Amino acid sequence: ETGVTQSPTHLIKTRGQQVTLRCSSQSGHNTVSWYQQALGQGPQFIFQYYREEENGRGNFPPRFSGLQFPNYSSELNVNALELDDSALYLCASSFPGQGGNTIYFGEGSWLTVV
């Protein structure tokens, strides 16, 4: 039990649609990161939020956007879905600004785009 909850666990969307994935972190974990993991690959960094502001972004197009809320929950939004967006999306939270703290992952949301 990591204390990080993601929803939905599985979903299927059609190309061109929009999706919102949600993550609820432990209280006090005001750094949250989102990752995309394609089948057989390691997770790839999408972006990171700290105290409700984006403070790091990976090599993903602007149609990937996010929000973080004061209650330690966050969202990943993907617009104009493409087939290649099919992947496991993971969120992870930790205490901020302390190099080497334990990181807590959610179970992930499996997205299939058809």
Partner 1 sequence: KNEVEQSPQNLTAQEGEFITINCSYSVGISALHWLQQHPGGGIVSLFMLSSGKKKHGRLIATINIQEKHSSLHITASHPRDSAVYICAALISGNTPLVFGKGTRLSVIA
Contact residues: partner 1, CB under 8 A: 2, 31, 33, 35, 37, 40-45, 48, 50, 55-56, 58, 88, 90, 92, 96-108, 110
Measured distance CA(4)–CA(12) in Å, rounded: 22
Choice between 57 and 63, CB closer to partner 1:
57
Choice between 80 and 88, CB closer to partner 1:
88
Query: Residue 27 CB, nearest distance to partner 1 (Å)?
Result: 18
Measured distance CA(96)–CA(72) in Å, rounded: 12
3-state secondary structure 57-68: ECCCCCCEEEEE
Choice between 9 and 80, CB closer to partner 1:
9
Tokens at residue 98, please? Answer: 């302390």
Tokens at residue 111, please? Answer: 């997205």
Query: Residue 17 CB, nearest distance to partner 1 (Å)?
Result: 22
